[in-house]
Structure 1
Amino acid sequence: MSSPSLSEFLTQPEVAGRPRTSSATAAGVVAVSQACRAVAGQLGFGALRPGDAPVGEVNVHGEQQQALDVLAHGLFVEAAEGCSQFAGVLSEESEEVISADPAGTLLLAFDPLDGSSNLEINGPVGSIFSIVERTRTGPVTAEEFLGVGTSQVAAGYALYGSHTVLMISVGDGVHAFTLDPATGQFRLSGSKVRIPAATQEYAINAANSRFWEPPVARYVAECCAGATGPRGKDFNTRWIAAVVSDTHRILTRGGVFLYPRDDRPAYREGRLRIAYEANPIAFLVEQAGGLATDGSTRILSLTPTTVHERVPLVFGSSEEVALISEYHCEASRSGSAGAAQQANGRSREPS
């Protein structure tokens, strides 16, 4: 007997052995999977695809757009507009929210092609998505995308590599689906994915170490000290420059990912966007038993004030994420104590 398809998994409890997903959420996830399948098909052409150079424009974030960024964005928008459940969409590649069906009950936020700088080296890339339920009716507004991450009803990503994998959660754990090239269907290939609590792998761009805040510098230095250092064990570094790929590695075998804020003006608020990068990743990670924070605060508790708001992101194996949070809290307490001492000293100065 073949593995259940994504649609069967979501809508037929007798096949999947799990609770039935609401019809609206199931339809939304299936629509997104169709966009992912279309993106995978386009990626398969590689250098044979005409017009695959940068388009000569930058997106709302000041990033150079690749032709496939624009194409993938269009495929996701098309899939959302073809699903009556979606009232509107938010894309990394669009400054404004895009309206779909005003009668829709769901909102879709997505990064259509994460890691597109890897395309020229045939490196891994992916797509990330988040689905939330609406709390109102009528034409969609940007404010509707400013909710906390706990309001998500589904989240996931597609990783386009040697094969295409779709990882999703609809609130009952994380499940893996592999694209069957013979049928064009995503079929269940793993259920109840779990992240081990302990790890000896961490992912961070060490080239930025001179800009890091003390808690991050401390954590990495202790990892680098290895078995003879305070951690008492050796660590390996992994960095793929595509958050989907790092997320997949962590969901598969554990690890911790750090993309912290740092001293550079464009990085002081972090780099990854809350709505369609940090929130869906945090949702998946927590569903798999891991943790996700901005260094100290749970990602899913944050309320963005703008649709493209950025945030620092630390996620993965719970023991490491908790330790990094502890280091941030210690630094905060130390900084507060130092500031209080300075203020107290000034108050005692003779007038």
Structure 2
Amino acid sequence: MKKISLVLLSAIWVLSACSSDATTETTEEAVSKTETNVVDEKSKSYNMSSMEYSIPESWNEEVSGENLKYYYPEDGMLMVSHDEIDGTISDDVTRASFIDGVTSSFDSFDLISESEIAVAGTTAYQYNFDIVLSNEEYKTSLITFDHYDGINSLMMATVSNSEKDYSSEFENILSSIEFTDEANKEVEEKAVEESIGNQIVLGEPIELGEYTLTIQKYSLGIDYEGNNALIVEYDWVNNSEDSTSPFMTFMLKGFQDDVETDDVIMVEGVDLGIGQKEVRPGGLIEGAQSTVGISDITKPLELELDELFSFNGTPYIAEIDLSTLE
């Protein structure tokens, strides 16, 4: 999150330019960085990172980079930016870190409200602040949402003692946002990836927190009550600094017809003891086994793998055709 914080910090300090006599002009070099065209006599459209949006034509424009722009109405400032991040702004921890980076740049602030909204069909987060910066008070609204490999942010600030109110203009700007076909395609692909989770591939290592798990083989078995079971054979490496057992670090679930299958107990030929051995840091266990229940042997089974103690992770998924197993 350091990169985002630095970009927003530079934007926030530019608030000192918010005044009624701001007269920034756009240079040819600046225009070349961000595509602009006149929509009508009241607004212009802009394109940043495949996001199109419209700004009132009377707002003075300053281009500070390909992915960072400022617009100055009287007694106000609008910042539009795109930044690459690891993860997603919809993650609570990532978003909290992002907001901490923003507010740390203020002399003081009061969080007035926070809410989840939609911008062009995309989930976004809105924060309204009263802030003090360089002994000047501002009313500030920040909108942020995922876009491509990062986030887009729009921050509207107005001098508190000004008679100007740009809330309607800001709403119009947000309503004007559209994503190009290329951007929409990537957003849709990302949504599909998130919905189906990461894929389990036999023989390929999977990083689960501080541990590496590699599923090597699937086979069928029967427990002592005669119930069908999927046997999962795996290798496991302890990359942490503490000793632990493989079975204490992950969980496997089975689903058929979107319903979790029942547990199985004492599956014939399965030795769960291998995965229950204590492993020191750097240690490797091979040929460990785990089991998952099967409700209907004639139907495919969806196998779900996740960290045992995980609240925000995306599980790994495998669609298994049971008819191909022995």
TM-score range with shorter-chain normalisation? under 0.3
TM-score normalised by length of structure 1? 0.22
- TM-score, normalising length: structure 2: 0.24
By percentage of residues, which structure has more strand?
A: 2
Q: Which structure would you say has the larger Rg? A: 2
Higher relative contact order (CA 8 A, sep 6+): 1
